[in-house]
A and B are shown apart, each in its own frame.
Chain A
Amino acid sequence: MPGPDATQPEASCGTCIRLGVATRPGAALYRNGTTGVVTCQDHLPKATPSRPVARPARVPVQPWAPPAQTPSVIREALPSPPPLPGVQSVPPPASGGGRGDAIHTEGLTKRYGERTAVNGLSIRVARGGVVGFVGPNGAGKTTTIRMLMGLVRPTAGQATILGESITRPSRYLDRVGALIEAPAFYPALTGRRNLRALATLGGHGAERVDDLLAQVGLADRGDHLYKSYSLGMKQRLGIAASLLSDPDLLILDEPTNGLDPAGIHEMRDFLQSLGKKGKTIFVSSHLLSEIQRMCDRLVVLRLGTLVFQGTVAELEATSTAIIAVPQQPAQAGRLVALCKAAGHAATQRDGTVTIQAPDAWCAELNSKAMRAGIVLRELRPHTFDLEERILDMTGREAKA
C-alpha cells in the first residue's frame, strides 16, 4: 500500500490529501511546493471516509490499521493529543430520567483497606446498544462490575441497574446476565450439567441449555467435563451462562479473553445484533480495536476514576488537530501566537506546530498565515486514533 499512497500527494499537488487513518502519518504528508495555498476543505469529502463530528449511533467505525504499521520514529514525532473534552460529556438518557437507564451510578466507591479500587464513579449508561468499559489493569472495572452485580458492597455511593437499586439485586438480576472476570464452573461436571445447574437455580427452562450450547458452538462438547475444555471453550460456556435469562442488560468482563479470531468476530456480531434488538451490553475489554469496532459508547476508567464517558464519535471528534510546518522554522513561534489569537491552543516542537482545532479550520489557518506572511510548507489535519487516545487518557506507563 505505501506505493500508491505515497505518490498520490505528489500527483495531486495543490490538494490536501488526507488518509483518514492517523496511523499512517508518513503517507499522509502533504507537499505543497512553495505556494502554501491549501484548501483542505474542498477536497476532504472525496479524499477518504470522513469522520463526521456527530456520527449517528452504531454506524460501524472504520477499522483502524494495526499500530505496528506506524514506524516508531514517526510515532514518536507525533504531537500529543489535545486535552480531554472532560468527563462531563454524558450522553442524554434514552428514556428520560435516571430510572430508565441500564446503569446509573453516583459516586460509587470501593475501598479495600488503604487501596481505593473505584473512586467516586458516576456513570450513566442509557438502554440499548453496546457500551465499552475500558481501562488498564487494576483500573477498577471488575470491581465496578462486582458492585453492580451485588457481589461486593460499595464503600460509598449508590447505583441503579434497570431502575433498581443495587442494594436489592434480586429485583433486577433476573434481567441481567453477566460474565465476571474468568469463567468459573464446576470442573468435574460437564458443560451441559453446569448450565443445567444454573438454569435450575435461576428457574430457566432446561431446553434453553441446549439452545445456548449450540449458540456458543459447544453443542458437540456439551457432554465433556468442564475441566477438559480449552480456555476459549470455557469462555464460551461462560457467555452461554450469562445468556441463560435472556437478559435486558448483559455485563461482560473481558469476554473475548482466549477466543480465537473467528470467535471474536462472531462475538462482536452477536453483541451488536443484541444491541440492535434494544438490549444493553456493557463490555470490558483490553482489545481497544474490538471495543472501537463494536461499541458506540465508551466509559473509560483510570485508577478507579472516570476519565471519559460518551460516544465513540465524541471521543473521535476531540481527536483531531492540525499540523502546520512553516517554511522557515523561525516563524513557528509567530504561527503559534497567531493560532492562539484565533482561540485555538497551539504548541510547537522542532518547527512543527500542532493546533488543537477541527480539521475544517485548515483553510482559515492557511489564509491567516498567508496574510501574516508565513509560508507553510506543510498543512494537514491529523487524527489521533482511538487507541492512542485511550492510552493517553489512561496513562501509557500503566499499560507497559
Chain B
Amino acid sequence: MMRSFLSEWVKLGRLRQLLSVWGVMAGLMVLFTGLIFASAGAPPPPPAACSPATDGTFDQAACAAAIAKAQQSAARKGPLVPTSTLEAPDGLSFGLSVAGNILGIVSLVLFAGNLAGEYSNGTLKILLSRQPRRLTLLTGKVAALFSFAVLGVLLAATAEVVTSLAIGAARGLDLSAWGTAGAIGDLLAGVARLALATLAWGTLGGLLAVLLRSGPAAIGLGIGYVLVGEGLLGLALPDVVRYMPGQVISAFVAGGKASSFSQSSAATPLAFGTAALLMLVYVLVFLGVAGAVFRTRDVAT
C-alpha cells in the first residue's frame, strides 16, 4: 500500500500539477471569501409594516407580505451576508463553508481524472504488472489523492484566513471575536470537515471513474449530478434529496448550522450527526463498489 501511495505521489508531485490543483483550490477560496467579505453590509431595516403600530398591534400578514415584496427587488434584498455574521467568532471560518462545495468539485475532478486516466492512458496494465494486488493498488492511490486534496484544503484554508483578515480589516469590521479560542476551534473544525468532505467528493469521482473508465464522462456526470441532478430532484422530492450525497456532504461541511448557501433552501438540511453518519456510509459504499468493480473487471484496454 505504501509503495502504491508513494508511486502515486511521484506522479502527482510535479510542479505543474501541484500549482494547478492547489492553485485552483486556494484561488476559488480567495474568490469566494473575497466576494462575501466585500459584499457584506448592514442588513436592511425591517419594512415599515413590521414595526408595531402606535397602539401596539402588529399586522403579521402585512409584515410577511412586505418582506416578500422586499425580497422581490434585488436592490432591496440587502447584502449577501450581514456584517454581524462575519464579525461573530465563526465568521473567521465562514468562507470555508461557502466554498466547501466548490472545493469538493475540484476534488471530484482530481480523483476522477486521475483514476480514469489510468484507463485511457493504458497505464493501468503496467501498474498492475508491478502491483497485482488490485485493492492494495487502489487503496494506495486513493490515499495519495486524499492526502493531495487535504494539502490543497490546508492551503485553501490558509488563503481563506488571510483573505478574511485582509478584507475584514480593510472594510473596518470588528474582528475582535476572531481571536478567541472558540473562533480558532471553529476554524479547525471547519478545516477538518472540509478535508473529510473532499474525501467524500473524491470517492464519488473515483467511483464514477472506475465505472465509466473515461475522465470526461466521469467528471461530466459527477458535476452534472451535483449541480443539476440534485437540484431537479430537490424540486420533485424535497424530502428525499436531503439524504442524497451532495446535500449530505453540504450539511456535513456546514457543521449543523443552516448555511445561507445551502443548495436547495426548500429542504431543511440534516442534523450534523445524521449528515456525518450518512456521509460515512456513502464513502464506504462508494469505496466498496469501486473496489469490487476494480478488483474483478478485466483490464482489456
Query: Could you tell me which A residues sit within 8 Å of B by CB distance?
Result: 112, 143, 146, 149-153, 169-170, 173, 176-178, 180-182, 184-189, 193, 196-198, 200-203, 241, 244-245
Contacts and interface: CB of A to CB of B under 8 A. Distances in A.
A202 to B, nearest CB: 4
B3 A186 contact: no
A198 B127 CA distance: 7
B116 to A, nearest CB: 13
12 contacts: A146-B298, A173-B129, A177-B129, A180-B126, A180-B129, A184-B126, A186-B11, A186-B123, A197-B10, A198-B7, A200-B7, A201-B137
Contacts of B300: 112, 143, 146, 151-152
A184 B122 contact: yes
A241 B125 CA distance: 12
A230 to B, nearest CB: 18
A169 B6 CA distance: 22
Given A184-B126, A197-B10, A200-B10, A169 B132 contact: yes
Given A150-B132, A185-B121, A196 B10 contact: yes
A202 B11 CA distance: 14
Contact of B133 (A170, A202, A245): A170
A186 B298 contact: no
Instruction: Count chain A CB atoms within 10 A of each CB in B117, B126, B131, B132 and give the residue with the most.
Output: B126
Interface of B: 3-4, 6-8, 10-11, 14, 16-17, 117, 121-123, 125-133, 137, 296, 298-300
Contact of B3 (A149, A169, A188, A201): A201
A197 B129 contact: no
A202 B129 CA distance: 9
B122 A182 contact: yes
Contacts of B117: 186
Given A152-B300, A202-B3, A203-B3, A244 B130 contact: yes
Instruction: Count chain B CB atoms within 10 A of each CB in A153, A176, A196, A202 and give the residue with the most.
Output: A202
Nearest to A238: B126
Instruction: Count chain B CB atoms within 10 A of each CB in A178, A193, A198, A241 and give the residue with the most.
Output: A198
Nearest to A193: B10
Q: What 6 pairs across the A-B complex have the smallest Cβ distances?
A: A184-B122, A202-B130, A169-B132, A201-B7, A151-B299, A200-B7
A241 B17 CA distance: 23
